[in-house]
Structure 1
Amino acid sequence: MAVANAEVDVLIVGGGPVGLTARALLERWGVRVLLVEKHAELSPFPRSRLVNVRSMEIYRQLGLADRIAANAFAPEYARVRFRDTLHDRDFATAAMVGVNAPVPESPVIGVVTSQDRLEPTLLAAADAEVRFGVELVDLAEEAESVTALLADHRRGAETRVRARYVLAADGASSTVRPLLGIGTEGPGALGGFTTVVFDADLNRWCADQPAGIYFTPHGSFAPLYPEGGWAWFGATPEDTADADWPDVVSRALGPGADVRAEVLRVQHWVMNAFVAERFLRGRILLAGDAAHALPIIGGLGMNTGLADVHNLCWKLAGVLHGWAEPSLLRSYETERHPVALRTLRQAVANTQLMVQVLTRRRDQLQSGEPASAEFELPWSERFFAQLGLVLGVTYDSAAVLTGDGTPPPPPDGGTEYVPAAEPGHRMPHFWLTPDRSTLDVFGEWFTLLTPDPSRWAQHTDAHRPLRIEPLPTEHADLCGIHPHGALLIRPDGHIGARWHDRPSSDGTLHHALTAITRG
C-alpha cells in the first residue's frame, strides 16, 4: 500500500495518562502534536489508582481537576486497610494524606480513581490527532528532525512521520528505549502479577469501612468505581491457561466468603523497578514508565510521569517557538533523573514495608495471639504521607538561578515537606484572594510575582512569554523578599530566580530569562 507522510512538531508515542497529559500541555502551548498508541483503544484495566495532590495541581492548571474529581471516589476512600481476609475486620489501617482530606500546602486534594476513568477525560482535553492501533517500529534521527516508521495495524499500512522531537511515553516495555540503546539501573523485574476485574457484592464487608485498597495475604482488593466493580491483583498462578479465575478470586476472599465472582477481564503484568540511564538522546526523550518503572505501592509511578511531562513540555514549546535554546532540553534529564532515582528508592522501600506488615501479622497469629491483638504499622502517618516526594521536589540545574545566596537543594529531603520560596522549589501555595492560589497564576508563560509590579514592569522581556502578578505585601516575608523584590516562576510552577530587592539594572530580568531558557 502507498506510504503516507506527515510532519508534526512532536510525535508522542504512547496513549496512557502521561502521553495524553503531554498532548494536552503541548496543545496549550500551540505545538503541533500527533499521538500514536499501539493498542486499538484506551486501556480497559484500572492500572493506576491514585492521582496525587501534585498531579491534581497540574490538572487544575489544565482546567481538568473538577472533572477528574467528579468521576473519582469520595475522600473517605483514601485509605488503605489490612485484613487477614477481606471479610475480616481491619488489623491495621492508614490514611492517604493529601487525598483523604485537604492539606494546607495545596489548593487541591488528590483523588482515588481508576486509570480507565481518568484516560477518557484526558483524551477529551485536547484536539490534537490521536491514532489508535498504530505502533512505532523504527526511528531515524536527522540533523533537524526524527523520522518515525509507524505500522498501522487497522489499515495494514506503514507510514513515515517526520517530527522535530519524539516523546516516548510507551511504558516499561518501551519500544523506543532499546532502539536508542539506553539501558536501565535498578532491581528490574520484581515478579509477575495478575489483575482480575470482576463484579460481586462485597458491600457487607466494605461499605462501612471504605478504602482505596484492601491488602490481604491472599492478594489485594480494590473497588473500581463509585457505582461498583472490583479488582483483585496478586501473584500470577503457575497455570494461567487453565486457571478458573472466578475460583481464584473466591479462594482469595477467604474461607466462608461464599461469593462467586463474575469475572469480566484478566490482565497479566510484570512489576518492574528501574530507572533509565538516560532520559534523552538527541531529539528523542523518554517520560513516564519508559523512563522509570516503579513498584505500585504508594501510587508513585503514574504521578512521577505526569511531573516529567509538566517539567518537559514548556521547554519543548520554548525551543519549538524559538524563545528557548535547544540546550534547555538537557535540563529535563538533569532535573528529573535524580527525582526518579529518589522515588524508586522510596517505592522499593514501600514495597518492603508492605511485606513486613504481612509477615509480622503472620508471625503474630502463629504465636497464638488473638486476631484482635493490637498491631502497629512500621511507619508513622507523616512518613506515609510522602509529601516530600509529592510537593517537595527541588531542581538544581542551569535552568534555575541561585545567585541570591540560596544554598543548593539537599540530595534527598526525605518524605516530609517543608514549603520554601527558594529557587528550584515548587512555588508554595497560599491564597492571594479567597479563591485564587499562588499556583493559579502560572500557565503558558513565566510569572514574575512581586509586591512592586510597576517597578518591574519597566524591565519586561518582549522575547519570552511573561506576566507580572502583584504579590500582596503581607506575603513578601513568606517568599523571602523585600517590598521591592520578586520571584520569577517557570511555567511548571518551580521558582527559576529570586531577587530579595529591586532589580540591580535594566537588564536584570532579561538576563535571568535568557539564562534560564538557555539551560
Structure 2
Amino acid sequence: MQSEMPVADAEVDVLIVGGGPVGLTARALLERWGVRTLLVEKRRELSPFPRSRLVNVRSMEIFRQLELAEPITAAAFAPEYGRIRFRDTLHAPDFASAAMIGVNGPVPESPVTGAVTSQDRLEPTLLGAASSEVRFGVELLDLTEEGESVLALLADHGDGERSRVRARYVLAADGANSTVRERLGIGTEGPGAVGRVTTVVFDADLGQWSARQPAGVYLTSQGSFLPLYPEGGWAWFVPTPEDTDGADWPGMVSRSLGADAQVDVLRVQHWVVNAFVAARLRHGRILLAGDAAHAIPPAGGLGMNVGVADVHNLCWKLAGVLRGWAGPGLLDTYDKERRPVARRTLGQAVENARMMFQVQDVRREQLQAAAGRTPDRVEPPWSEQYFAQLGLVLGVAYRSEAVLTGAGTPPGPPETGTTYIPTAEPGHRVPHLWLTDGRSTLDAFGEWFTLLTAAPAHWESTTAAPWPLRVEPLPAEHTELWDLPPQGALLVRPDGHIAARWSDGPPGDATLHDALTAVTSR
C-alpha cells in the first residue's frame, strides 16, 4: 500500500532549486518584483571552491541594477588581473598573453567594468542581496505539475524529514547534473562530457613570479595557475589523473611549479567538463536556467555569466505572469530568446579552447626547433581576441513575440564573439550613453517598462495601465546617435532590451497599450 505524501508545509510563488550564482541572482531579482520565493540547495552551505572566476561586463551591469556592483568590485582583483598569460612554467616569462576585454579596464560601451573574482567570494554577496527564505541541506527529490501549481517533494539532509512545497512556478538552477531536468526527461544537445579536471586549492608564496605581471590565469604546460583572492591563495587546474586516491597533491603542485615552493594544499575537487544545451528550457510551469539549461566549458569564463543573463531575462516575465499584467504565453519567449544564446555561447567556448590549444601547439613546435635556446614569443594575430567577446556579451539580439519589429523585419544580424556594434533596434540591449544627470541609460531600467524619448510630453498621455511604466527623457544628441527622430521613442523591457521602436510620436492613445499587450502576451 502506497503511503501518503506529507502535507505541504509551504506555498510560494516561485521555488528556486539550486543556490549557486544563478539561483541566488534569481532570488534577488524576484524579490525586487515582490515575488515570494523559497530557495533550496542540497549542499549544507555555500560552495567553498572558487569554480567560476569571471564576472563579465554584462553580468556586472545586471549586478549594478541590484546595487551589488560596488561590493563585488571591492572584493575582486584590480583590473590589471584581467589578462591571461601563457608561460612554459609559472616562473618563466610570458610567451603570449591576451586581455579580457571589458575586465582589464573600462570600455566605452558600458558604465561598468567586469571583474576577476572567485565564485566563493561572489556567492555570499548574492546571498545577502535578498531576505527571502533559503534552506541549505535540502534536496529536491521529485516534482509534479498539478493544475496551476507544482508540488515538490523535498528531503532535509539534517534530520531526514521529507516535506512538500507547492509553487506556482519552479526555476531550476541545480547544475549540469540537474535533478529537475532528469525528472522531466528533458534531453540535451551537444557532446556532453568532454573531460575530467581536478582543482587543487593551495597556499604558497608565489608573488615573486606573478606580482609584477598580474593575471587572472597563468596557463602553463603543467596546468593552469589562478590567484584566488587579492589577499592570497591559489588554485591549480589540471586534467584529473588516473589514481586520485593515491595522488600526492602537494608534490604534484610543487613539481608543476617547476621550482622549489612550499605548498599547503587546502582542498581538492574533481569535476567533469560538460558541453551541452538542454533540448528545451520550459516544461509547463518549470523552467531551466544556468548549468541546468546549458553546460559551457570554462574557456573564456562564459558559463556563469550566461546563466545570470538567463534569469535576468526570465524573472521579469515570471513577475508579470504572477502579477497579472502578462499572459502565460510570455514565458514561451524565454526558450526562444535564451536557447539560441546558449548555443552560440557554447560555440564561442569551444572556439576559445581551440585558440588556447593552438597557441600551445605553436609553442611546442618552437621548443622542439629551438635546440636548447629560448625561443621567441608567440604572437598569433588572434592573441588579443581571446576573451574579446563583447559582441556575444553586449550584442545579444532577441527574436520572439516579446519583440515588435515593425514590418516583419528581424532585429538585426546575430552577434559575433569579438565584435559589438551598438544599435537601438528592437531586440537589442539599449546602448549605454550618459544621461544629463550623470546616469547611464542602463540605470533607467528596473522593475518597470521604460519609454525613452526626447519628447516625453507627447507620450505621457498615452495609456499604459496595468503595466508598470516610466517615461525617461532622452537627450536630443542621443536620438541622433540612434537615428531616432525627435518625436520617436523606444519601449524598453525591464531586462534592458528594446521591445518596440517608433519613429514618430504616438499615432493614437492606444499605441503604447497595444504594444505592451502584444509584448506581454496579455
TM-score (norm 1): 0.98
Of 359, 384, 402, the match for 1:357: 359
2: CA distance, partners of 1:238 / 1:262: 22
Show the counterpart of 2:52.
48
**Alignment correspondent of 1:146:** 150
Q: What is the CA deviation profile of residues 380-406 of structure 1, one whole-angstrom value per residue up to 9, with x for unaligned ones?
A: 524641100110000010000001675
Contact 2:174 2:292 survives alignment (8 Å): yes
User: Which whole-Å deviations, capped at 9, do the CAs of 1:469-513 have from their partners, x for residues lacking one?
Assistant: 111112112233211110000000000000011111110000000
Aligned 1:49-448 pairs, distance under 5 A: 49-254=53-258, 257-368=259-370, 370-377=373-380, 379-382=382-385, 384-403=387-406, 406-433=409-436, 435-448=438-451
Instruction: Give the whole-Å Cα distance in 1 for the aligned partners of 2:145 and 2:300.
Output: 37
Q: Distance in 2 between matches of 1:105 and 1:484?
A: 25
Matching residue's letter, 1:433: T
Larger mean CA deviation between 490-499 and 376-385 belongs to: 376-385
Name the counterpart of 2:501: 498
Which AA in structure 2 matches 1:251?
A: R
The change in CA–CA distance for 1:225 and 1:383 in structure 2 (over 3 A counts) is closer
Runs of 4+ in 1 over 4 A off after TM superposition: 1-4
Where 1:312 maps in the other structure, the secondary structure is helix
Specify the code of the residue in structure 2 equivalent to 1:172.
A
Cα 1:383–1:49 shift into 2, 3 Å: closer
Pair 1:81–1:484, CA change in 2 (3 A): same
Q: Deviations over 1:366-423 (max 9, x none)?
A: 1126324131235152464110011000001000000167544324534200000010
* Letter paired with 1:515: A
Q: Is the 8 A contact 1:421 1:478 kept in 2?
A: no
Distance 1:42 1:147 in 2: 26
What is residue 518 of structure 1 aligned with on the other side?
521
Query: Does the Cα contact within 8 Å between 1:197 and 1:230 map onto a contact in 2?
Result: yes
**What amino acid maps onto 1:167 in structure 2?**
L
Contact 1:443 1:491 in 2 (8 A): yes
Look up the equivalent residue of 2:74 and give its one-letter code.
Answer: A
| Distance of 1:194 and 1:374 partners within structure 2 | 29
Residue 458 of structure 1 aligns to a residue in which SS?
coil
Paired position in structure 1 for 2:31: 27
Contact 1:167–1:285 (CA<8 Å) still a contact in 2? yes
Whole-Å separation in 2 of the counterparts to 1:207 and 1:228? 11
How many angstroms apart in 1 are the aligned matches of 2:321 and 2:281?
A: 17
Q: Deviations over 1:34-62 (max 9, x none)?
A: 00000000000000000000000000100
Asked whether 1:482 is paired with 2:485, we answer: yes
Provide the rounded CA distance (Å) in 1 between the counterparts of 2:437 and 2:313.
28
Q: 1 CA distance for matches of 2:28 and 2:316?
A: 12
Give the 3 Å change call, closer, same or farther, for CA 308–465 of structure 1 in structure 2. Answer: same
The Cα shift of 1:3 comes to 5.3
Corresponding residue SS for 2:418: coil
Structure 1 stretch 398-407 or stretch 325-334: which is displaced more?
398-407
After superposition, give the CA deviation of every residue in 1:307-358 in whole Å (9 maximum; x if it has no partner). 0000000000000000000000000000000000011001011111111111
- 1:456 aligns with 459
What's the offset of the Cα at 1:87?
Answer: 1.0
Partner Cα distance (1:39, 1:405) in 2: 48
8 Å contact 2:41–2:138 — kept in the other structure?
A: yes
Letter in 2 for 1:7: E
What is the distance in 2 between the residues matched to 1:411 and 1:198?
A: 42
SS of residue paired to 1:186: strand
Quote the Cα distance in structure 2 between the aligned partners of 1:309 and 1:461. 25
CA distance in 2, matches of 1:384, 1:125: 28
3-state SS of 1:92 partner: strand
Q: Tell me, yes or no, if the aligned pair for 2:359 and 2:378 is still in contact at 8 Å.
A: no
Q: Are the equivalent residues in 2 in contact too, given 1:406–1:422 (CA < 8 A)?
A: no
Query: How many angstroms apart in 1 are the aligned matches of 2:389 and 2:377?
Result: 25
Is 1:471 matched with 2:474? yes
Report which stretch shifted further, 378-387 or 295-304.
Answer: 378-387
Deviates more, 1:315-324 or 1:408-417: 408-417
User: 1:382 and 1:364 mapped to 2: Cα distance?
Assistant: 22
SS of match in other structure, 1:47: coil
1:361 aligned counterpart, secondary structure: helix
Aligned equivalents of 1:414, 1:88: Cα separation in 2: 31
Q: Is the 8 A contact 1:383 1:416 kept in 2?
A: no
Q: Counterparts of 2:226 and 2:384 in 1: how far apart (Å)?
A: 21
1:433 match: secondary structure: coil
Query: For residues 147 and 283 of structure 1, what CA distance do their matches in structure 2 show?
Result: 11
Residues 98-153 of structure 1: CA distance to partner in whole angstroms, max 9, x if unpaired?
A: 01110000000000000000000000000010000000010111110000000110
Coordinate RMSD, CA, aligned: 1.4
Q: Which runs of 5+ in 2 are unaligned?
A: none
Contact 1:300 1:343 survives alignment (8 Å) = yes
My pick for the range that moved more, 25-34 or 459-468, is 459-468
Deviations 1:432-455 (A, max 9, x none): 036200000000000001111111
State the partner residue of 1:17: 21
